[in-house]
Structure 1
Amino acid sequence: MIVITAPTGQIGRLVTDRLLAAGAPVRLIARDPARLPGEVRERAEVVPGSHGDPDVVAKAFAGADTVFWLLPPNHRAADLHAAFVDFTRPACAAFTEQGVQRVVGVSALGRGTPMAANAGHVTASLAMDDLIAGTGVAYRALALPTFMDNMLRQAEPIKNEGVFVSCSPGDRKAPACAVRDIAAAAADLLLDGTWTGVEEVPLLGPEDLSLDDMAQIMTEVLRRPVRYRQVPVEKFRAGLLRAGMSEAVAQGMVEMFQAKDAGLDHGVTRTPRNTSPTTFRQWCEETLRPAVH
């Protein structure tokens, strides 16, 4: 039995679809089961509730061999470390109590770099990895850079104004990966019952691109001018707060971007094994363009 957390999110939904297509026995933890497609509810077991709830994870992990662990977003968290680590503690206890053998988690690049100690969400995510690994389960942490799919949050300004914004320099090149490739890697690990030990699994996308590079590719794919605009850090933080983020979450985002600007995502050497396939141009053609049009 494979347990999937956050099955209604971007990654969890794709992982669920892949496992069901492979005929694997799947159990889903869903805060709102009604958000699951009807065909998914028919083919998978569903445990209602939050995967931060001790009773829910104890029930969901009973008889399970493998768990896909994905933290739900909490934009109003008062403490970032607690949002990652404390939320995960009940699951870690249940891994041990219920005899879970393997866990695949969604995490971040940066381990071993000097920037990781003050990288906001990344620092908290790496602490979560350590907590899970400390239970003794076999663990694979998907170590991820920025998601291409995050650009969908700015689909409206891209469409209406031909612009997207962040606080990073436009010429800084960095890796980026597509959600579809993350889900594929996760599903492959979840379906493989042979691995042991604790390892990171980096996914770097096929190339490093700057935000200016991305703007040029979007211009070509969308056939309309798109430009990147860097905004000052304080203005960026203020925008996050206006969007509803707490002070702690907004500050964690700023610290993460500043750590990335300092080289956080460049601690892993690109190899054929960690080069995921979807290019940013392909992602724009297949995902961004329909969203904008």
Structure 2
Amino acid sequence: MTDTPAGFRRHLRAPLEEPVIVVTGATGNIGRRLVDRLLEEGVAVRALTRDPARAALPDRAEVVRADLAEDTDLAPLLAGADALFLNLAAGGAESAQRLIDAAVRANVPRIVLNSSQGVSDTPADETNFISRMHATVERAVRASGVEWTFLRGGNYATNALGWAPAIRATGVVRDAHPDAQGAPVHEADLADVAAVALLDRTGAHVHRIHRLTGPEVLTNAQQVAAIAEVVGRPVRIERISEEEAAEAMAGPHFPLAAARELVGLFGSTVDAPAFPVTDTVERVTGRPARTFAQWARDHAADFS
């Protein structure tokens, strides 16, 4: 386990009798880091996953089978919980609504939602798939009456994992917008901020929106160069059309129309990043956000 960041503990809850935090998406990039962080703080973690046998989560976590897409009562999964970490990646917007309803029935007092910085609280939220989905769930959480905190992440560093198969196979990344700009945020920083919000007893994070980015703006080409440095061999980026990029991105759970919207949004960041760099990670956790170079070192094996 890693050392607790300076300043982290001052935000945590006062000791409670067997507090329980429910984590959705527990085997995902953010969820796995969050489970580790909460266990470090001595908190009981109920980790929800479709396949506990393959989850490979720490023994101290209570690993519970939960297929959030099934039409079953989710309230028993949340019984006795002090807070719920809700990640749309674990089942989509429809499952998120069912979890919110279940949390209300189970008297869960707090929800921390992994949302998107694409949400602007303006009519523009209805103009693309990503912001529309997250804005809908944010509204549902607000309407539930529970305490909430929204984590609006911008460009996730883990998006670069989509390049891994090509880097391993050919050393060539095919992308519509090599000059698209963003400030990639490390999943460990998202997890650390989530833990602070889940365990907060001061009220400092109740009904707060945290906008999260990494510490620096990089183009896609610069991110590819950082990955090349850690794998120790040449990797280049090759420009393709937006339609080719959208077709490569689309899949059973991500419609082609939504992929086209997303590729177009990436194109709009060539002149300037969509979101300014924030200092939220440092303000909340007490230490600077991790760089993309650090992320690349942490994930070198994925690209080798």
Q: Which residue of 2 aligns with 1:155?
A: 164
1:251 aligns with 2:257: yes
Query: Which residue of structure 2 aligns with residue 78 of structure 1?
Result: none
Question: Helix, strand or coil for the counterpart of 1:64?
Answer: coil
Contact 1:52 1:88 in 2 (8 A): no
Displacement after TM superposition at 1:14 (Å): 1.4
Q: Which residue does the alignment assign to 1:94?
A: 102
Structure with greater helix percent: 1
Q: Are 1:22 and 2:41 counterparts? A: yes
Measure, in 2, the Cα distance between the counterparts of 1:156 and 1:46: 30
259-268 or 220-229, larger mean C-alpha shift? 259-268
What is the match of residue 203 of structure 1? 212
SS in 1 for 2:167: helix
- In the alignment of these two chains, the number of paired residues is 277
1:24: how far off? 0.3
- What is the CA–CA distance in structure 2 between the aligned matches of 1:38 and 1:69, rounded to whole Å? 18
Unaligned runs of 5+ in 2: 1-19, 283-287
Where structure 1 has 5 or more consecutive residues not aligned to the other structure, the ranges are 75-82
Contact 2:29 2:187 in 1 (8 A): yes
What is the 5 A alignment of 1:162-201? 162-167=171-176, 169-195=177-203, 197-201=206-210
2:82 equivalent among 60, 65, 79: 65
2:126 — aligned with what? 117
Q: CA deviation at 1:286?
A: 2.5
Task: Give 2:268's aligned amino acid.
Answer: A
Cα offset, 1:263, TM superposition: 5.2
8 Å CA contact retained: 2:68, 2:90: no
> Do 1:2 and 1:25's aligned partners in 2 also have CA atoms closer than 8 Å?
yes
- In 2 relative to 1, CA 73–227 (structure 1 residues): closer, same or farther, beyond 3 Å? farther
Once the two structures are superposed, the pairs formed by residues 4-43 of structure 1 within 5 Å of their partners are 4-37=23-56, 39-40=58-59, 43=60
Measured at CA, do residues 54 and 139 of structure 1 come closer, stay the same or move farther in structure 2, by a change above 3 Å? farther
Cα displacement (A) at 1:269? 4.2
CA gap 1:32/1:70 in 2 versus in 1, 3 angstroms: same
Assess, with a 3 A threshold, how the Cα gap between structure 1 residues 235 and 257 changes in structure 2: closer, same or farther: closer
Query: Residue 7 and residue 274 in structure 1: after superposition, are their counterparts in 2 closer, same or farther (change >3 A)?
Result: closer
Structure 2 contact 57–63 (Cα < 8 Å) conserved: no
Q: Is the 8 A contact 1:118 1:255 kept in 2?
A: no
Residue-by-residue CA offset, 1:97-121 (whole Å, 9 max, x unaligned): 2211111111111222675332222
Checking the alignment, whether the CA contact within 8 Å between 1:137 and 1:197 is kept in structure 2 is no
Deviations 1:12-38 (A, max 9, x none): 111111111211022222221112337
Q: Does 1:279 align with 2:291?
A: yes
**2:247 touches 2:259 (CA, 8 Å); kept in 1?**
no
Distance 2:84 2:70 in 1: 15
**SS in structure 1 opposite 2:89?**
coil
Instruction: Give the TM-score normalised by structure 2.
Output: 0.81
Asked if residue 47 in structure 1 is aligned to residue 47 in structure 2, the reply is no
Q: Name the counterpart of 1:290.
A: 301
Aligned-residue identity in percent: 28
Cα distance between partner residues in 2 of 1:73 and 1:252: 18
Q: Give the deviation of 1:52 after TM superposition.
A: 4.7
